[in-house]
Amino acid sequence: MSVVTVRDENRLPVLVGVGQVRGNRDRTVAGAREPIRLILDALSAAASDAAGSGGCRLLREVDAIDVVHVASWGYHDLAGMLAERVAARPPHTFGAPVGGHRPAELLDRAAARVAAGESRVSVVVGGEAQASVAALARAGVDPATDLGWSAEPGGPPAFSPDELGSPAMQAAGLVLPTRVYPLFENALRHRLGQTPAEAAAWAAELYAAFSRVAADNPVAWNPEVRPAAEIAEVGPGNRMVCEPYPLAVNAMPLVDQAAAVIVTSLAAAREYGVDEEQIVHVWGGAGAVDALDVLARPGYGRSAALESTLDRCLAAGGVAADALDVVDVYSCFPVVPKLVAGHLGLPRTAVPSVTGGHSAFGGPLSSYSLHAVVAAAGRLRAGRGTALVHANGGYLTYQHAVLLGREPHPGGYIGDPAPVDTAGPAPRVVPPAGGDATVETATVEHRRDGSPAQAFLIARTADGARFAAQTAPGDAASAQALSLYADGPANGAGSEVVGRRVRVAVGDTHVVVDRI
C-alpha cells in the first residue's frame, strides 16, 4: 500500500460522539419508553459526549440523519421526526430497511459523504423497545391511546411475506432465523470435521466469554457472567430451540436499547471544540451480498459474502487480521462468529466482541452493531489502535465491516460502502423428491417441553439436485430421523446427520423421513 499523507481535514471522517441507553429492564408499564424517546436519549448522550454543553448546537447543524430500521414500533418518517425534535433541517434523511448489517453500512456511507465533501455532521441512530411493547401488551395497555406513543402509523410495523424468503423457502418452512441459522451451523460443523459435542462446546465457550464482556457493559440487558457448562447444558431453563442451538445461544430481541453515533470531518470536530482524545477516525469499510434465496447458495458451510467483506475491508485498510487491536463480530447465532473467527485465523481462545453478544448484551434486532461501534470507540479512546466491527443481515445474506482507528489512515477514507454481489453457482433446485437422498444440512425444532416437534431438511438427490422440505408438526419419528440427539439433547453427545443417507416420502405439504 502506498502511503499518502492526508492534509484536507475537511474530508477526513471522524467519530466524535457516541451514546447508548438501556430502558425498562424490569418490564413495567411505568418504565416503558417509546423507541423514538430512547433514540433521542441516546442521541443526546452522543451530542454531550462530543461537545459537552455545545452538543445542542452540534445537533442543530446536522446535515444527515440515518436511522436503522425499528421493528418494535411503526413510524412514517422517523428520521424526519428526529430532525424536528433536535431543531435540525438536514438535506439528507434516510430510514433503512431491516438488516443487522445496516449500522456498519450506514456509518461507512456517512464517512464516505464526509470524504466526498457532501457532509460535515451526520448522525446514525437506532433503537428498539420490544421488551416494553411486549410488557404493555400483556398488561392490556395501548401504547398510542394510553401512553401517547406516535400513531403515525404506530403499532408493530407491517412486513411483506416476501421478506421471509423465496416461495421454495416458505414451502419448506425456512422462514425464521431460528430455523435457518442452525442449517449453516450444522454444515460448518461437518465441513470442519467436528462432532456435535465439539461444536456445541465451542459455541458455549464463545458465549460464556461474551457474557463476561457484557457484564462490564453498562447498558447490557443480561449483565450476568454465565459459565460455558451452564450455556451448553440443555434443560428446562435452557431448552433446545432448533438443533444444535439451546436458548442461551439464541439472540435476545426482547430488549429496550438504543444507540447513536455522530460523524463529522476532522475540521468540523475541531471547530465544535471536540476533545482530541475523543476523536476516533473512520477509515472505511466494505460490504457484500449473497443470493437472497438461501436455496440458491453454493453450500452452507461457509459464506462468500462474509469472506469477501472481510478480505476487501482489511485489504483496503492495509491491515492484517492479527494486527487488529479490537474485533467485534455479529453474534445472533454462534455460526456467525465461528465463520468470522475461522476466516480471520483467530485462535479459538479469542473473544471477538467488545459489546457482549446478542444473547448477553441483548439483540435489539437491526441496531446491535451500532452498540458495537460505541463499544469499539471506547476501546480506541482508551488507547487501542485499530478496530474492526463486523455486521450481518438476513440469513448470512448481507455483510458489512468497518475499520476504525485511533489515528487517521494515511490514505484518508479508504472505504467502499456499495456492496458487491458474491452470489455464486448453485445446484439445481427441484421440488421435494421421494426416494433416497443425502442430507446436505438439517435441523430439528423442539417444543417448549423439550420434545422434538418438526424437522427441516435440505438434501441432494442422486443426480445432485437440491430440494428442501419440512416434516409434519408432531411427526416425531421423522424428526428423530434427522436429529443429532438419539435420546434427546440432554442425554448423549449426539451423532452426525449431515452426509447421512435418508429415505424420503413426499406428501401434500410435508415429507416423511427415515434413516437408511
pLDDT at 491: 57
Say yes or no: 274 and 356 in one domain: yes
Geometric angle at alpha carbon 8, from 5 and 11, rounded to 5°: 115
**In the structure, what pLDDT confidence band is assigned to residue 2 with cuts at 50, 70 and 90?**
very low
Residue 160 pLDDT greater than 80, yes or no: no
Encode 257-271 in three state secondary structure: EEEEEEEEEHHHHHH
Say yes or no: 322 and 447 in one domain: no
pLDDT at 163: 75
Geometric angle at alpha carbon 242, from 193 and 217, rounded to 5°: 90
- Partnered with residue 458 across adjacent β-strands are 441, 468
Say yes or no: 347 and 286 in one domain: yes
Encode 426-494 in three state secondary structure: CCCECCCCCEEEEEEEEEEEECCCCCEEEEEEEEECCCCCEEEEEECCCCHHHHHHCCCCCCCCCCCCC
pLDDT at 129: 98
Amino acid symbol at 188:
L
**In the structure, what pLDDT confidence band is assigned to residue 162 with cuts at 50, 70 and 90?**
confident
Query: Which residue reads 444507540 in cell numbers?
Result: 259
What the block records as the C-alpha cell of 342 is 475461522
- Lowest model confidence (mean pLDDT) among 53-67, 349-363, 479-493: 479-493
Say yes or no: 280 and 417 in one domain: yes
Structural domain that includes position 33:
9-152+253-421
Q: Where are the alpha helices (DSSP H) in 283-419?
A: 304-317, 335-344, 368-381
Query: Is 308 in a helix, a strand, or coil?
Result: helix
218, HSE (Cβ side, Cα atoms, 13 Å): 7
Say yes or no: 317 and 441 in one domain: no
The answer to whether the CB of 153 falls within 8 A of the CB of 388 is: no
pLDDT at 487: 63
What the block records as the C-alpha cell of 32 is 416503558
Across residues 433-458, what is the average pLDDT?
Answer: 95
Across residues 63-67, what is the average pLDDT?
Answer: 98
Q: What is the CATH number of the domain that holds 482?
A: 2.40.50.840
Say yes or no: 467 and 407 in one domain: no
pLDDT at 79: 98
Say yes or no: 136 and 264 in one domain: yes
pLDDT at 6: 56
Give a yes or no: residue 266 inside a domain: yes
Say yes or no: 50 and 139 in one domain: yes
**In the structure, what pLDDT confidence band is assigned to residue 120 with cuts at 50, 70 and 90?**
very high
Say yes or no: 378 and 458 in one domain: no
- Name the strand (E) or helix (H) holding 205: helix 196-214
Give a yes or no: residue 176 inside a domain: no
Give a yes or no: residue 241 inside a domain: no
Give a yes or no: residue 344 inside a domain: yes
Say yes or no: 138 and 286 in one domain: yes
Residue 474 pLDDT greater than 80, yes or no: yes
Residue 4 pLDDT greater than 50, yes or no: no
Across residues 226-232, what is the average pLDDT?
Answer: 97
Query: Is 414 in a helix, a strand, or coil?
Result: coil
**In the structure, what pLDDT confidence band is assigned to residue 1 with cuts at 50, 70 and 90?**
very low
Final residue belonging to a domain, choices 421, 452, 487? 421
Query: Is 134 in a helix, a strand, or coil?
Result: helix
- Lowest model confidence (mean pLDDT) among 137-141, 153-157, 388-392: 153-157
Q: What is the pLDDT of residues 77-106, one digit of tens each?
A: 999 999 999 999 999 999 999 999 999 999
Average pLDDT, the chain: 95
**Residue 198 contacts by C-beta under 8 Å, 6 or more apart in sequence?**
189
What the block records as the C-alpha cell of 193 is 470435521
Give a yes or no: residue 161 inside a domain: no
Environment class of residue 416 by beta-carbon count within 10 Å: exposed (0-12), middle (13-18) or buried (19+)?
middle
- The structure's pTM equals 0.96
Angle formed by the axes of helices 304-317 and 335-344, nearest 10°: 40
pLDDT at 20: 98
Q: What is the CATH number of the domain that holds 131?
A: 3.40.47.10
Geometric angle at alpha carbon 383, from 378 and 386, rounded to 5°: 80
- Lowest model confidence (mean pLDDT) among 4-8, 63-67, 239-243: 4-8
pLDDT at 488: 65
Exposed e or buried b per residue across 325-338, where buried means at least 16 C-beta atoms within 10 angstroms of its C-beta: bbbbbbbbbbbbbb
**In the structure, what pLDDT confidence band is assigned to residue 188 with cuts at 50, 70 and 90?**
very high
Residue 199 pLDDT greater than 70, yes or no: yes
Residue 492 pLDDT greater than 60, yes or no: no
Across residues 382-407, what is the average pLDDT?
Answer: 97
Give a yes or no: residue 233 inside a domain: no
- Lowest model confidence (mean pLDDT) among 134-143, 363-372, 477-486: 477-486
- Domains in the chain, number: 2
Q: Pairing relation of β-strands 416-421 and 280-289?
A: parallel
Give a yes or no: residue 183 inside a domain: no
Rounded to the nearest angstrom, the gap between the alpha carbon of residue 91 and the centroid of all alpha carbons in its chain is 29
Final residue belonging to a domain, choices 365, 394, 421? 421
Say yes or no: 333 and 463 in one domain: no
Across residues 162-168, what is the average pLDDT?
Answer: 85
Query: Is 141 in a helix, a strand, or coil?
Result: coil
Final residue belonging to a domain, choices 421, 447, 473? 421
Say yes or no: 354 and 463 in one domain: no
- Lowest model confidence (mean pLDDT) among 148-157, 312-321, 440-449: 148-157
The answer to whether the CB of 104 falls within 8 A of the CB of 46 is: no
Q: Where are the alpha helices (DSSP H) in 8-129?
A: 35-51, 55-60, 78-85, 102-115
CA distance 413 to 118: 14
Q: How far is CA 402 from CA 96, 260, 309, 329, in A?
A: 18, 16, 9, 11
Across residues 130-159, what is the average pLDDT?
Answer: 94
**In the structure, what pLDDT confidence band is assigned to residue 490 with cuts at 50, 70 and 90?**
low
Residue 464 pLDDT greater than 70, yes or no: yes
pLDDT at 3: 39
Give helix then strand counts, H and E, for the chain: 15, 17
Give a yes or no: residue 196 inside a domain: no
Across residues 492-501, what is the average pLDDT?
Answer: 84
The answer to whether the CB of 424 falls within 8 A of the CB of 298 is: yes
